Amino acid sequence: METIRQIPILISKEFLLEWRSKYALGGILLYVMSTVFIVYNGFIRVAPPTWNVLFWIMSLFTSVNAVTKSFSRENGNRQLYYYTLADPTAVIFSKITYNSLLLILLNLLTYLVFGTVTGNPVKDKGLFFLAIILGSLGMAVILTFISAIANKAKNSATLMAILGFPLMIPVLVSLIKITANALGVITDTSVNEDIWILLAIDAILWALAYILFPFLWRD
Amino acid sequence: MRKVKLLCYFLLLSQWAMAQESQSMMESNGKIYVVLATVLAIYIGIMIFLLLIERKLSNLERQIKD
Amino acid sequence: MKHWWKILGAVLVLYALIAGLLIPLKPGILEVAPERTQWGNTISLQIKAYNSHFQEAKELKAWLKLDSTHFVPTSHIKVLSNTRLTADFRLPIHQMEEQSKELTLILDNEIDGYSLLPGAIQVTLSDSTISRGFLWSNDLGRIHEPQGLTFPYRNILYETIRNLFYHVPLWFAMLILLFISMIYSGLYLKSMNTKYDHAALALTQIGILYGILGLITGAIWARWTWGDWWSFDVKQNMSAIAMLIYLAYFVLRSSFEDDEVKARVSSVYNIFAFTTLIPLLFVIPRLYDSLHPGNGGNPGLGGEDLDNTMRMVFYPAIIGFTLLGAWLANLAYRYLRLEEKHLEE
């Protein structure tokens, strides 16, 4: 019960921290805008298959940028303070939830900006949004967890990239396939199956993060 | 890390060696030489591992003796 | 006998080597010339076969097959050598609408059994209107089943079908070793005993060794069958990414100084990494077209490609390579334990 009570408090703490360091959020927004602008200048008109892949590449880098600081922005002493106050499962749960919300927001924003600037080829909007939500959940779990691991080591920023990118690929590849359906690039009857697989991957990773995090926590 | 580097060298070397061999030899006799190359690659890989562990073990033995 | 499993591993790998290399390939048809002709012609096909015994055979027969009820038997066979012969066929006038049809060549004799070459010759519509009245036969008569222990004959693959016993078991063994490694990581987190972490590390090392060897042998095989070292096949790409995930494991280990934290964090990563490996190797490759068997219309294992004779070698090879890997991991593990003991003193 104590754990469940802690979660909303910890999530609101994350929001507060984000709000206090507005420059970080601003930086990510600026990052989204400038990437879209560069892509626009490079391609002008983007063919749907390219649009699909470009969208997820932009989403990948935005997510990595947004989540990397998840653990490292709180310095050692402050973390020690949380450790004494809160339950580890509450901490990881609130961080993943917060990052999922943040990533859904950022990916929707990327979609909006990219869609208005280069043209919006999405035919099945519902499927596309579902893919964005499932993808954001998966990426948030992986990146948050990797951020927790990398935070334990020296030069954690480099480690974050080395550990994070290969682990993201399975999720990204499934996502690209699903959104290719949403864009009408390919028609696949087994798209429902893909969604279930993605959901299963998300659920397994979420559960693992939940089970394994207490072991990272201890010091 | 050194093991990884050595294996990379091995990969490059084996590719280079294969490229040198004439196409016709690999294609001859029902491509049996492809099987030979595969078995050789596995053999060399395992030998490299044994050599590395042998050397590490010798170092450790020397340290223990001192 | 404490070391029975090491001996078993060595024996099974040896068996896979000997049986896998000595059992001959089933005879098959390499190529046929000419590649096209017209309906109503009398043609003389030059046939090159593989592993066949034409000179020793007494009952040589050949057919061209359109479908299961339309055959053209040969009118005359001339044997040039054990692997070469010419067969004459008198093609009937074809009544069907299509411009051209591909015919399957069937060869049969009592030593080699029968062999097929689908699409051996393409027959186009005749220019001349003279009907020569050659007729279809609608029955093959008696054909011989192949005898003795043989591996299936496949065009393009030929003898490289034997690589199934050396390339594929590396992947199976790698997955088994990495899975055991993950279990040891779990045991470490449960008991905090360094010995389990060392076992996990040793098993991962051998898993990666097998993975890299799998990529190399796969590249060699791909070069001479698909035409390129790297074909950007989904399974190849995914396996390379799997290697990256596990190489990151070593990078992670090297970035800690404190041994306890190193063991703890890398165990956690190992469990997480293996979990992402499951969809990577099994689910995603099936989502896309792949050159590998079992994908996008390619025949899979367990279909025609893996017949009983191959199973007899393939399964022992998997067990053999796994046990051999466990032996190698055992050596690495004992080294790690010795080093730890030495550092403590």
Inter-chain touch C248–A163, beta carbons under 8 Å: yes
User: Tokens for B4?
Assistant: 């990884």
> Does A163 sit within 8 Å of C279, measured CB to CB?
no
User: CB–CB of C335 and B56 under 8 A?
Assistant: yes
B9 — pLDDT class (breaks 50, 70, 90): low
Touching C: A residues 120-149, CB under 8 Å: 142, 145, 149
Residue C151 maps to a domain = no
Q: Which of residues 117-176 of C touch B (CB under 8 A)?
A: 157-160, 162-163, 166-167, 170
Cβ contact, residue pair C269, A149, below 8 Å: yes
- 3-state SS class at C149: coil
Q: Is C65 helix (H, G, I), strand (E, B) or coil?
A: strand
pLDDT, tens digit, for every residue of C248-295? 999 999 888 888 889 999 999 999 888 887 766 666 655 555 556 654
In a domain, C21, yes or no: no
Q: Burial of B62 by CB count in 10 Å (0-12 exposed, 13-18 middle, 19+ buried)?
A: exposed
Domain boundary among C77, C106, C124: C124
Give the model's pLDDT for residue C133.
63
Subunit contact B15:C342, Cβ cutoff 8 A: no
**pTM metric for this prediction:** 0.83
Chain C residue at shortest CA distance from A142: C272
For the ranges A37-41, A152-156, C322-326, the lowest mean pLDDT is seen at A152-156
Report yes or no on C180 lying in a domain.
yes
In a shared domain, residues C117 and C163: no
Q: What is the pLDDT of residues C28-46, one digit of tens each?
A: 888 888 888 888 788 888 9
Query: For residue C176, what pLDDT is reported?
Result: 93
Contact C71, C140 (CB under 8 A): yes
Residue of C nearest to A150 (CA): C252
Q: In the prediction, which pLDDT does A168 show?
A: 86
* pLDDT for the residue C298: 42
Whether residues C37 and C167 share a domain: the answer is no
DSSP, collapsed to helix, strand or coil, labels residue A66 as helix
**What chains are in contact with C, requiring at least 3 Cβ pairs below 8 Å?**
A, B
Across B22-30, average pLDDT: 71
Q: Determine the pLDDT at residue C215.
A: 92
pLDDT for position C301: 43
CATH of the domain at C105: 2.60.40.10
Which residue range is the domain that position A121 belongs to?
A: 2-217
The token pair that represents A63 in the structure block: 């997510």
DSSP three-state, residue C274: helix
Check C269 against A163: CB less than 8 A apart: yes
How far is C136 from chain B, CA to nearest CA, in Å?
Answer: 35
Tell me the pLDDT band of C131, cut-offs 50, 70 and 90. Answer: low
Cα distance between the two ends of chain B: 27
Q: What is the pLDDT of residues A70-125, one digit of tens each?
A: 777 766 677 777 777 778 888 888 889 999 999 999 999 999 988 888 888 888 88
For testing contact with chain B, the best of C198, C208, C213 (most B CBs within 10 A): C213
C300 and C254 assigned to the same domain: yes
Q: Do B38 and C221 touch (CB under 8 A)?
A: yes
Tell me whether A51 touches chain C (CB under 8 Å). no
Question: Does residue C251 sit in the same domain as residue C110?
Answer: no
Query: What amino acid is encoded at A56 in this protein?
Result: W
Q: What are phi and psi of C147, to 5 degrees?
A: -115, 160
* ipTM of this complex prediction, to 2 decimal places: 0.84
How would residue B5 be classed by pLDDT, with cut points 50, 70 and 90? low
- C205, amino acid identity: Q
Nearest Cβ partner of C220 from B18, B30, B32?
B18
Cα–Cα distance, B2 to B59 (Å, whole number): 15
The mean predicted confidence, pLDDT, of chain C is 84
Residue C101: pLDDT above 50? yes
Identify whether residues C97 and C241 lie together within a single domain: no
Taking the C-alpha atoms of residue C311 and residue C316, their distance in angstroms, rounded to an integer, is 8
Can you give the residue range of the structural domain that contains C338?
158-344
- Assess C240–B contact: CB distance below 8 Å, yes or no: no
Q: What is the distance in angstroms between the Cα of A214 and the nearest Cα belonging to chain C?
A: 10
> Looking at the domain assignment, is residue C215 inside a domain?
yes
Structure-token pair, residue A218: 């201890």
Gap from C2 CA to chain B (nearest CA, Å) = 21
pLDDT tens-digit series, residues A174-190:
888 888 888 887 776 67
β-pair type (C113-124, C36-38): parallel
Could you tell me if residue C105 is inside a domain?
yes
Report the SS3 class of residue C109: strand
Contact C279 A145 (CB under 8 A): no
- CA distances, A212 to each of A92, A149, A209, C277 (Å): 10, 11, 5, 17
Q: Report which of C131, C94, C161, C142 is spatially closest to residue C304, judged by C-alpha positions.
A: C161
**How many separate domains does chain A show?**
1
Q: Which residue of A has its CA nearest to C260?
A: A219
Nearest CA in chain C to B42: C213
Contact C275 A208 (CB under 8 A): yes
Task: Note the pLDDT of residue C266.
Answer: 93
Which site among C31, C50, C220 would you substitute to test the B interface, given the most B Cβ atoms closer than 10 Å to its Cβ? Answer: C220
Please tell me which residue, A27 or C12, carries the higher pLDDT value. C12
Strand, coil or helix: what is C36?
A: strand
pLDDT at A206 over 70: yes
Q: Are residues C241 and C305 in the same domain?
A: yes
Peptide bond into C34 cis (omega under 30): yes
- CB-closest option in C17, C159, C254 to B32: C159
Q: Which of A153, A170, A215 sits opposite C276 (nearest CB)?
A: A170
Point out the least confidently predicted range of C97-106, C133-142, C269-278: C133-142
* Contact between residue A91 and residue A147 where contact means Cβ atoms under 8 Å apart: no
The answer to whether the Cβ–Cβ distance between C265 and A153 falls below 8 Å is: yes
Structure tokens at B20: 């040198």
Q: For residue A175, which residues of chain C lie inside 8 Å, CB to CB?
A: none
Shortest CB distance from C342 goes to which of B7, B46, B64? B64
For residues C283 and C286, give the distance between their C-alpha atoms in angstroms, rounded to a whole number: 6
The two structure tokens encoding residue C103: 């015919």
CB contacts, 8 Å: B27 with chain C: 224
Look at residue C305 and tell me whether its pLDDT is greater than 80.
no
C321 and C263 together in one domain: yes
Beta strands in chain C (DSSP E): 28-33, 36-38, 42-50, 61-67, 70-79, 84-90, 100-109, 113-124
Cα–Cα distance measured from residue A56 to residue A53, given in angstroms and rounded to the nearest whole number: 5
> Do residues C87 and C191 both lie within one domain?
no
- Which whole number is the average pLDDT over C64-82? 85
Task: Give the per-residue pLDDT at C300.
Answer: 42
Taking an 8 Å cut-off on Cβ atoms, the answer to whether C275 and A155 are in contact is no
My answer on whether C44 and C117 are in the same domain is yes
State residue A129's pLDDT score.
Answer: 92
- Is residue A165 scored above 80 in pLDDT? yes
C125 compared with A168, residue with greater pLDDT = A168
Residue C72: inside a domain, yes or no? yes
Question: Distance (Å) from the C-alpha of residue B22 to the closest C-alpha of chain C?
Answer: 12
pLDDT for the residue numbered C42: 84
Tell me the chain A residues in contact with residue C272 when contact means C-beta distances shorter than 8 Å.
145, 167, 205, 208-209, 212
| Nearest chain C CA: its distance from A201 CA (Å) | 8
Task: State mean pLDDT over C168-181.
Answer: 92
Q: Does A96 touch chain C (CB under 8 A)?
A: no
Reply yes or no on whether the pLDDT at C306 is more than 60.
Answer: yes
Residue C26 forms contact with B (CB below 8 Å): no
- What's the pLDDT score for residue C297? 38
Residue C118 scores a pLDDT above 60: yes
* Of A1-15, A188-202, B14-28, C43-57, highest mean pLDDT: C43-57
Do residues C118 and C163 share a domain?
A: no
A124 Cβ contact partners less than 8 Å away, ≥ 6 residues apart = A181, A182, A183, A184
Structure confidence at residue C302 as a pLDDT band (50, 70, 90): very low
**Interface touch B31/C159, C-beta < 8 Å:** yes
Query: Mind listing the pLDDT tens digit for each residue in A133-143?
Result: 999 999 999 99
Q: Do chains A and B touch (3 or more CB pairs under 8 A)?
A: no
Is C36 part of any domain?
Answer: yes
The pLDDT score that the predictor gives to residue B54 is 93
Number of domains in chain C: 2
Examine the domain organization and report whether C178 and C299 are in the same domain. yes
Reported confidence tier of residue B23, pLDDT bands at 50, 70, 90: low
